[in-house]
Chain A
Amino acid sequence: MQIYLPIADLPVNIFLILAMGLAVGFISGMFGIGGGFLMTPLLIFIGISPAVSVATVSSHIAASSASGAISYWRKDAVDVPLGGMLLAGGILGTALGVWLFTVLRSADLLDLLIALSYVVLLGAVGGLMIVEAVRAIARTYQGKPVVLRRPGSHTWIHGLPFKIRFKRSKIYVSAIPVCVIGLIIGFIGAILGIGGAFLLVPMLIYFLRVPTATVIGTSTLLTLVTMGSATIMHATTNHLVDAMLALILMVGGVTGAQFGARAGLLMKPERLRLLLGLLVLSVGLRFAIDLLGQPNELFSIRVVDGT
């Protein structure tokens, strides 16, 4: 069944979009990520313009993270003060990202920068996750206990001033790294049109030693707030959010996310991390192949302004 999208200005198959929402929602529920880094390229692939894709995906991520945040809230797995502090840095980062986005767009360098960042970011994060997960799996096979948290191992990050106690997460860290992490995520999110949870979760675990009990709930809350405000910003500045497309994606996405979350609970955490690492790495490789191999079509056209 075809439906004409009012902002994207082209007809799409409802069931195809619904299926895409379900699939990405399943993955996002399973790993506790937004899935923007998967959904944006998929939408571009079916012919929706990159600008509309980025703007619309933000509302789709807001919906799936709302569903997730509510579930985690009920389980009391959200650290609100930590989320608030990350958000403070995040807003500044988003503003910087939007500024750079505009500068690069006028210099015609945006497409290349986005592709390169995807390769570097996804490749590095995916690779690290795989290495870490394989080690963890090897340890369990050797019968050694899984070290979830190393209480004594303080890094230089814990020596920084302005320390704050986050009671829910049971951590005592400086406000500086918290804000810096928020800033980096906001910055990357604004440029690449992604929520950044796949970066935020490892950062919170490895740098701040936030326990697994609160890390996903807190990151989901942060994603909800940033993506909700990104939707409003995109709608007011570029007028490119397609509500019709967003609604179909959301319905598929939230449904898929619920099933994904259940599937995720059945798996061992290190196996889950290995799978996510492989997924992230393969998306990164896909972008690398595009950059390195000779494309079939060298030319591309883009409408600068319609009259």
Chain B
Amino acid sequence: MKRIFATALLVIAISSASYAARAERLISSLSSHQVLVSSSFAGAELVLFGSVERDAATIPRRGGYNLVVTVIGPRQTLVTRRKDRVFGIWANAQSRTFVGAPSYLAVLSNKPLDEIASLGTQQRLDIGMDNVPLPQTAAMQPTDLLFRDALIRLKKERGLYIEEPNSVTFLTPNLFRAGIRLPAEAPVGSYEVEIKLFADGTNIARTSSALEVVKVGVEQFVASAARDYGLLYGLGTTLMALLTGWFASVVFRRD
């Protein structure tokens, strides 16, 4: 514990020193800032391009650059439940409510996070699956970690939480590219993209970007009709049911 604290202090000292000595600038661009959800939507793949700008005053980095990209989808409130045996029946017993959890989360880097920065730095910068803040409503309890791990595991199974230590590629020592995969289940809304540059275990530059997932065409029409004109939408759906039923009885009529 003491050692972690000492490293953290050291890291802070080094990073503030490097800021003073003309740090690198990060420049990046997304292949698209808007992902359109149409009726044929089956997920999307975005590309993040960028380069590390240096000038004459920038000190040389012997270890090279490392990059961590974090994509955070719209926040949502989630309940994680655990089944327990109650009177011989497996039923939901304990639960934890997570407020403002990312609906989508991708942690992309060019090598495993532990090789990029120390554990203390990762914690301080909220990078990595284990360090993303997932605030709960109730007071902390010893078993909380189980529920947090389960949440991350279940989200990963559905492709909504992604941890890829090899999805950022340095094309040249200063030029990078990263692939961001959005699964078909990715919710609509705005997504934050945080890009952090590391050298010698220190965060030396950062920049951010954003992208938006929106419904278009029929999807957008149905979704907004259902939300804004509930009664009309319900009547319409019922009418559709009646017509379909009537049509079938006419088409298949035998007598």
Contacts and interface: CB of A to CB of B under 8 A. Distances in A.
B77 interface: yes
Nearest to B226: A239
Interface of B: 37-42, 74-85, 88-92, 95, 97, 103, 147, 150-151, 153-155, 184-185, 187-189, 215, 218-220, 222-223, 226-227, 230-231, 233-238, 240-242, 244-249, 252, 255
B79 A302 contact: yes
Interface stretch (A2-10, A155-163, A194-202): A2-10
Contacts of A116: 89
A205 interface: no
A258 B37 CA distance: 36
Given A2-B42, A300-B80, A7 B226 contact: yes
Given A70-B245, A257-B248, A302-B79, A243 B226 contact: yes
A286 B204 CA distance: 57
A74 interface: yes
B193 to A, nearest CB: 19
Nearest to B221: A6
Given A235-B230, A292-B88, A292-B90, A66 B242 contact: yes
From B79, B103, B155, B249, name the one whose CB has the most chain A CB atoms within 10 angstroms.
B249
Interface of A: 2-4, 6-7, 9-11, 59-60, 62-71, 74, 108, 111-112, 116, 228, 231-237, 239-244, 246-247, 250-251, 254-255, 257-258, 290-295, 297-307
A113 to B, nearest CB: 10
A276 B230 CA distance: 36
B83 A243 contact: no
B231 A232 contact: yes
Contact of B40 (A4, A294, A301): A4
B242 A63 contact: yes
9 closest A-B pairs (Cβ-Cβ)? A66-B245, A235-B234, A254-B248, A299-B150, A67-B245, A232-B234, A63-B241, A6-B222, A62-B241
17 contacts: A6-B215, A9-B188, A66-B249, A70-B246, A74-B255, A108-B92, A231-B234, A231-B238, A232-B235, A243-B233, A292-B90, A295-B90, A301-B79, A303-B78, A304-B97, A306-B76, A307-B76
Given A62-B245, A66-B241, 15 more contacts: A2-B40, A4-B37, A4-B40, A4-B219, A7-B226, A66-B249, A232-B231, A236-B230, A241-B226, A243-B226, A247-B244, A251-B244, A301-B78, A304-B78, A304-B97
Nearest to B155: A301
A299 B157 CA distance: 13
B42 to A, nearest CB: 5
B184 A11 contact: yes
A135 B220 CA distance: 56
Contacts of B154: 297, 299-301
Contact of B240 (A243, A297, A303): A243
Contacts of B91: 111-112, 291
Nearest to B37: A4
